[in-house]
Amino acid sequence: MDEKYLTVSQITRYVKRKFDHDPYLERVFLTGEISNFNRNRKNGHQYFNLKDDQAKLSVVMFYGDFKKLKFQPEEGMSVLVVGRISVYEKTGSYQMYIEHMEPDGIGALYQAYEESKKRLAAEGLFDPSIKKVLPKFPKKIGVITSQSGAVIRDIITTVKRRFPSVELFLFPTLVQGDKAAKSIARNIQRAEERNDLDILIVARGGGSFEDLWPFNEEIVVRAIAQASTPVISSVGHETDTTLSDLVADVRAATPTAAAELAVPVLSEELMKIEQQEHRILRAYQNRIQSLKDRLARVERSYIFRQPQRLYEGYSQNLDQLQQQLIQVFKDKVAKSDQTRLLLDQRLRALSPANSIKHYDKEVQQLEKSLIRAQRQLLEQSDKQLNYYIQSLEHLSPLKILGRGFAYVRKEDEVIKSIEQLNVEDQISVQLSKGSFKAEIKEVNYSSESE
């Protein structure tokens, strides 16, 4: 099959999804005339039409919503309905699912009710998290209702029967008519000003939507919301829901139910206290018996009969630890001795005494070698000296003088040439043995000099 072709189911499902996600069709307010109405259905669901002069719309009203109606729908009746528009996939037709229906004429009130409900809910006045808890044993209860009629009688009868010690304070209130809303709000404020009430009951018997309208007024709703005292609301029948019911801390189906929610049954509470007393007594008795049994077990325990057994294990552990400690010390000492011996050996190997002995021997050898070298040097020097002496002796002028030669000095200057002498110079003549002084009488130059 070509993928561009859709099945009937697919296109119907797509259209239904469009209807279900359209915000304008999610909650629709319509007026029309009932057509093709047939109440005789086994499952209680109602299928009929709404029409006007130019169009007709299929509608469905399920049993849960239909049984809440306070009137009998009839063929041709003009009604106001609230619901949603969707598609019934099996037939591919669109229809309206009605959640609320009422005869035409009070539609404006119901629309105002829905608008107020939506606005107050957005402010959080109906939030369950802010609702107060009713006290378990109230002492004083305020009742906001008419001073005549079955409502106050039912509340008084129920409270006195269940919990007669409670004080009831009636705030006579108009609960129907144009002035009812202000009367209800004013009496709630009066009850708050007392500052000694534990619970406040706002109650009214059944009636039409218009009769219950004062309990939908914003002034009443805000008075209940601002009350610091927990509020029980019991307005109309169980199927009626007012904004006062939504904002109250607790909602009751009837005034009697409100009284039952407000107070416990004294006889039941006394019975509970008595049962609790017995349970506590039994618990203490069981506890005492348990402690006695525990004490008896402790007294029979070996701890008291043989107290030394308490520390036998510790003594054994102490002995083992002592042996371990001794062994650890021995191992430590042995290891230390081994380390000491090793270090001693290393120290001996590196000891300067050995080096000193070694160098001492070297010094002794060097001393011997030095002595030998000195002796050899002295002997060699002696020989050389003798040789020089002999050489000097051979060259000594004394030896020459001994052979008849002499040398002449003039004023400590050795005369080497005749040119150094003049007539009358005083000279000293050195001979082999002694010397003498003379005066130059004549100077003769040799022929070689000439």
Whether 258 has a pLDDT exceeding 70, the answer reads yes
Do residues 428 and 435 make contact, with C-beta atoms less than 8 angstroms apart? yes
Could you report the per-residue pLDDT of 216-229, keeping only the tens digit for each?
A: 999 999 999 999 99
143 and 101 in a common domain: no
Residue 315: inside a domain: no
277 and 260 in a common domain: no
Which contacts qualify for 440-444: CB closer than 8 Å, 24 or more apart?
Answer: 443/418, 444/418
Residue 337: inside a domain: no
**Spatial distance between the Cα atoms of 412 and 408, rounded to a whole number of angstroms:** 9
Q: Please give the structure tokens belonging to residue 187.
A: 């009496």
139 and 78 in a common domain: no
Per-residue confidence band for 449, with pLDDT thresholds at 50, 70 and 90 = very low
253 and 178 in a common domain: yes
Give the domain-ending residue among 305, 334, 362.
Answer: 305
Do residues 207 and 236 make contact, with C-beta atoms less than 8 angstroms apart? yes
Cα dihedral across residues 149, 110, 112, 244: positive or negative: positive
CATH number for 34: 2.40.50.140
Residue 93: inside a domain: yes
Could you report the per-residue pLDDT of 49-77, keeping only the tens digit for each?
A: 999 989 999 999 999 888 888 777 888 88
101 and 17 in a common domain: yes
Give the domain-ending residue among 55, 90, 105.
Answer: 105
Whether 448 has a pLDDT exceeding 60, the answer reads no
**Spatial distance between the Cα atoms of 413 and 434, rounded to a whole number of angstroms:** 18
211 and 245 in a common domain: yes
pTM above 0.75, yes or no: no
Residue 406: inside a domain: yes
Tell me the average pLDDT of the chain: 87
Segment 397-403 mean pLDDT: 69
Output the pLDDT for position 437: 85
Q: Please give the structure tokens belonging to residue 171.
A: 């705030």
Could you report the per-residue pLDDT of 108-132, keeping only the tens digit for each?
A: 677 778 889 999 999 999 999 999 9
Structural domain count, the chain: 4
Output the pLDDT for position 207: 80
Per-residue confidence band for 450, with pLDDT thresholds at 50, 70 and 90 = very low
On the CB side of 281, how many CA atoms lie within 13 Å of its CA?
Answer: 6
Q: Single out the residue of 84, 41, 18, 256 nearest to residue 153, CA to CA.
A: 256
Residue 149: inside a domain: yes
15 and 140 in a common domain: no
Within 10 angstroms of residue 269's Cβ, the number of other Cβ atoms is 15
Output the pLDDT for position 241: 85
**Spatial distance between the Cα atoms of 155 and 148, rounded to a whole number of angstroms:** 12
Could you report the per-residue pLDDT of 24-48, keeping only the tens digit for each?
A: 898 999 999 988 888 766 678 899 9
Whether 356 has a pLDDT exceeding 90, the answer reads no
Looking at residue 88, its amino acid is: Y
Output the pLDDT for position 427: 87
Show Cβ contacts of residue 106 under 8 Å, excluding neighbours closer than 6 positions.
80, 209, 210
233 and 138 in a common domain: yes
CATH number for 182: 3.40.50.2300
Give the domain-ending residue among 105, 123, 145.
Answer: 105
pLDDT higher at 166 or 404: 166
Residue 187: inside a domain: yes
94 and 160 in a common domain: no
Could you report the per-residue pLDDT of 318-354, keeping only the tens digit for each?
A: 888 888 999 998 999 999 889 988 888 887 777 777 7
Helix runs in 232-351, H state only: 243-247, 255-262, 266-300, 302-305, 309-349
Output the pLDDT for position 447: 52
pLDDT higher at 303 or 226: 226
Rg value, the chain, Cα: 71
148 and 183 in a common domain: yes
Range with lowest mean pLDDT among 58-72, 96-110, 176-190, 220-234: 96-110
Output the pLDDT for position 352: 74
Whether 2 has a pLDDT exceeding 80, the answer reads no
Whether 398 has a pLDDT exceeding 50, the answer reads yes
138 and 246 in a common domain: yes
Do residues 407 and 401 make contact, with C-beta atoms less than 8 angstroms apart? yes
Output the pLDDT for position 145: 95
Residue 370: inside a domain: no
Output the pLDDT for position 446: 66
Output the pLDDT for position 386: 85
Write b or e for each residue in 336-371: b if 16 or more Cβ atoms lie within 10 A of its Cβ, otherwise e: eeeeeeeeeeeeeeeeeeeeeeeeeeeeeeeeeeee
Residue 374: inside a domain: no
Segment 399-407 mean pLDDT: 72
273 and 224 in a common domain: no
Q: Single out the residue of 177, 168, 164, 175 nearest to residue 203, CA to CA.
A: 175
| Host domain of residue 279 | 268-305
